[in-house]
Amino acid sequence: MLKKMSEIATGYTGYLIVFIATFVFLLPKINEFCTVYSTIDFDSQALLAWDYAAYKGIMPHKDIFYPYGILFYLRDQNIFFHLIYFLSIPMLFTLLFAVLKKMWKNTYLLVISFALFIFFILQFTGIDTFNRYGHIVAFASYLAYIAYALKRQSSRIPFFIGITSGVLFSLITDQGIYFIAMFSLYVIITPILRENIKVIFGKTYYARAIYDFFLYIAGFVIGFLPYLFYLLSNNSFVAFLHSIAQFSDIALYAKTPFIPSLRSPGNAFIFTILLLTLIVVANKIINKKKNNFTFYLQLFLALGLILLLQKSIVRSIDRQLTFIAVLLLFTLCKDFDVMLKALKVEAYNRITYICLLLVTILLINPFRINKITSNKRSALRGTACINSSVDHLTKKYPGYKMLSNLIRKDRKNSNNGIFSFPGDPIFYILFNQRSPYYLSVYEASPLYAQKNRIDYIENQNILYVIYNQKSTSIQDGVPDIIRGSYEFQFILKEFALIGRLNDFLILKRDKSQDILHNKLLDDVPKFKKTILDVDLEFVPQLEGRHKQKILDESSTLLSSRSIEEVNNFLKSATVTSDKIILILRATDSSKSKEKVSVTLITQDNINTRVQFQGCGGRGCIIRLSSLPAFFTNRIIKEIHMNTAYKGMMEIRENPKEDILW
Amino acid sequence: MRVNKSILQGLFSTYLGIFILLMSVFLFRNSWVDKDVYLIFLMLYGILPLIFILLRGKRAIFLTVNLFILGIIYTSIFLFFRKIRELFPAPDILDTKIVGFTQYYGYPFYFDTALFFTIIIITFSMPLIINFLKPKRRN
């Protein structure tokens, strides 16, 4: 019986059984078209807003910013994409089963490792994450196989790989880009692995590489054609190209420190396994033990993981990549098995040792990788789906619905729209209103995106702005008024404060009012402090470091080490905030690491404080019109500094070229 | 160095048992040990005796030396992390006027990438360098 099962598992029937078994196991999910969100945090609101947009037939890239690919956008709205999404999961499991089968010669280890792998995916990674990053892993494994098994590569292979890449690029754009990178690495290193490093000095190497790339690109174009027709038919092609061009800007505003995140359980696990794998691969190269599938699998999986870690370096996705480390762990266990076999350890003992090791690392989980907590899925569709999330969230957080009712009462029968700052997209759903292209100030960090949101306010005839006081920093500790300062400036100039409900402020279109002379401002001390007490951290220092050359173009009104001399000048002259910049150059370098605090007093008795990190070396540049208190032009009458600062202060004209923050 | 295989197997089984026991103990009582120390232990010292015993002979010694040097390099990177960070240029606020974490807190944008690839390259090349430097056998 066991022998029969072993034959089935190791034959082609095994692949069919695995596909059917995983398909049947996941079958209850085929009817799940709806995610019910249980928390009102920024991420959940954004996902809900995208679900709502997809339900309303809003085009991604053209009408709404969506960086994750059409497959995820339409999987709950379109039966075709839903089936592709669903069927790709058992397909990925089957491909990875085939990889493990190729690696293990022992059926017990094959079955146990595959079972542990599925367990790990279900407990720690999640099906959605696996369906997103599993494609590049399967692709890396396939490349490992053809690098190992095929001494002479057929021309059809790069062509068909190109078609697959084009299709995946259409469905999950960022993963498609990784496919291109992975194939490039394959073309570069495979001839070197098959022969030796000297092959790179021959012309054949480069001719072959160019030929393979040519076939790959031809296949890629064919694979991309259906999606290209879809984009062209919806006038979205240019918007799609624009969204790809924005990837570099996403990296700029999304980047958070990576090295400190190495302490997380996921990253600790990934790096332990990755570095061990690199040592093992290097040793195999030294000892010329690279003529086995395990070596190629380790190398290509490690390269795939290193590629994906570039995304993690921008913004840590440690937990999502741990399953790749699990596959690498299996390859290390395979090497361990070979070592034990060389020591004449019996098969039964070898299996026991490896199973003990895998169970300890994956089940007892010494790295303490957290189990996934995902939102519930249900069979609801369309309006019922959206309403189930909205009803659940508004019951849990009643302020949202109360505020919506209050605004409806104020606007009476008009259809004037609302705008949410920094970004509570649930309001657009509550008001049955099309959302802005960028849902929040976070995605709208670039200036062009902030202008896009301002255009939305103008074009949609927005009458109200809902300001969430509780959210001072939507992500990463960067204040929203700094991140979206251009947008915030527009709001303060065009809208007036009219009321408050809990953490929400209501502003109504009225450009005649100066926000700082609004009587209601004293009733909202938190908002008042946000406007009048600003922490710029390193922004002035970075401006000083990188923008010195433009200062040559602006003339100096005053340069002095004495604050009294500066104040005398301000009292005698009419210095307006829109025309000047402040430059501070600290002379006492030992103090330059302390925060500098500058208090500015205006002619109309507005008292505002700005703090920032010290200004040694090239100094700090502050453009006053960037500060909320000076969004409206004011006359500066006095400046005070804290004792942390000793040095030169310059008041210069605002340069003509608008490159200062 | 010749080693009796049965003694090797016995040593290995004992070692594996102790290793699993220690990891299980740390799992339930990890407040006894600083987390970073625990992670370094897992990375280096848990694997070292295993490789030494299994590979035996001079090859094992060079691998052990390899891992210890890497351990020193990794520890140095983590200990002097802030000083190394100061060597990298702070990011610029470009025409797009993006102010994210790196611009707001002055964190060097390419620092993590550079450090990551340094660790990867050192880890991969260390065995190759040690192999190149080790004395060759005379025929």
Partner-chain contact A445 B100, CB within 8 Å? yes
pLDDT bracket for residue B29 (50, 70, 90): very low
pLDDT bracket for residue B1 (50, 70, 90): very low
- For residue B35, what pLDDT is reported? 59
Residue of B nearest to A614 (CA): B106
Distance, CA of A240 to CA of A236 (rounded, Å): 6
In chain B, the percentage of residues whose pLDDT exceeds 70 is 48
Distance, CA of A607 to CA of A599 (rounded, Å): 7
**Using an 8 Å Cβ cutoff, are A185 and A192 in contact?**
no
Q: Is B95 on the interface with A (CB under 8 A)?
A: yes
CA contacts within 13 A on the Cβ side of A23 = 12
Instruction: Read off the pTM.
Output: 0.88
**Using an 8 Å Cβ cutoff, are A260 and B85 in contact?**
no
Q: Is B76 on the interface with A (CB under 8 A)?
A: no
Q: Which of residues 4-23 of B touch A (CB under 8 A)?
A: 5, 8-9, 13, 16, 20, 23
- For residue B28, what pLDDT is reported? 44
Partner-chain contact A353 B16, CB within 8 Å? yes
Q: 3-state class of A127 per DSSP?
A: helix
Closest-CA distance of chain B to residue A630, Å:
18
Closest-CA distance of chain A to residue B94, Å:
8
Whether a cis peptide bond, with omega within 30° of 0, leads into A158 is no
Q: CB-CB: which of B104, B115, B123 is closest to A537?
A: B104
Q: Is B105 on the interface with A (CB under 8 A)?
A: yes
Q: Is B106 on the interface with A (CB under 8 A)?
A: yes
Q: CB-CB: which of B81, B93, B125 is closest to A542?
A: B93
Closest-CA distance of chain B to residue A378, Å:
36
Closest-CA distance of chain B to residue A424, Å:
19
> Could you report the per-residue pLDDT of B82-102, keeping only the tens digit for each?
888 888 888 889 888 999 999
| Consecutive 10-residue averages of pLDDT for chain A (661 residues) | 60 85 89 89 93 94 93 92 94 94 88 92 91 95 91 81 95 94 94 86 91 94 96 94 92 91 85 88 82 92 96 91 94 87 79 79 75 81 90 91 90 86 94 94 95 95 94 90 95 94 92 89 92 94 85 81 90 89 78 79 93 82 93 92 81 82 87
Partner-chain contact B35 A263, CB within 8 Å? yes
Task: Identify all chain A residues contacting B63, using CB atoms and an 8 Å cutoff.
Answer: 283
Closest CA to A45 of A392, A317, A507, A418: A392
Strand ranges of the sheet holding A462-468, from the earlier edge strand across to the other edge: A417-421, A462-468, A504-509, A495-501
Give ∠ CA A213-A218-A220 in degrees, rounded to 5: 90
Distance, CA of A531 to CA of A482 (rounded, Å): 11
Q: What is the DSSP string of A223-271?
A: HHHHHHHHHHHTT-HHHHHHHHHTHHHHHHHH---SGGGGGSHHHHHHH
Residue A556 identity: T
**Using an 8 Å Cβ cutoff, are A486 and A451 in contact?**
yes
**Using an 8 Å Cβ cutoff, are A634 and A554 in contact?**
no
> Could you report the per-residue pLDDT of A548-570, keeping only the tens digit for each?
877 776 788 888 888 899 999 99
Q: Which of residues 23-62 of B touch A (CB under 8 A)?
A: 23-24, 26-27, 30, 35-36, 39, 42-43, 47, 54-55
Q: 3-state class of A426 per DSSP?
A: helix
Give ∠ CA A204-A205-A208 in degrees, rounded to 5: 80
Partner-chain contact B66 A279, CB within 8 Å? yes
Distance, CA of B139 to CA of B121 (rounded, Å): 33
pLDDT over 60 (residue B4): no
Task: Identify all chain B residues contacting A309, using CB atoms and an 8 Å cutoff.
Answer: 116
Q: CB-CB: which of A253, A259, A275 is closest to B81?
A: A259
- For residue B47, what pLDDT is reported? 62
Q: Is B81 on the interface with A (CB under 8 A)?
A: yes
**Rg of chain A over all Cα atoms, to the nearest angstrom:** 30
Closest CA to A102 of A118, A113, A91: A113
pLDDT bracket for residue B79 (50, 70, 90): confident
**Using an 8 Å Cβ cutoff, are A128 and A182 in contact?**
no
**Using an 8 Å Cβ cutoff, are A298 and A247 in contact?**
no
Q: In sequence order, what are the residues at sequence separation of 6 or more whose Cβ sits closer than 8 angstroms to the Cβ of residue B124?
A: A278, A279, A281, A282
Q: CB-CB: which of B42, B92, B101 is closest to A255?
A: B101
ipTM for this model: 0.89
Distance, CA of A467 to CA of A485 (rounded, Å): 14
- For residue A367, what pLDDT is reported? 74
pLDDT bracket for residue B135 (50, 70, 90): low
pLDDT bracket for residue B27 (50, 70, 90): very low
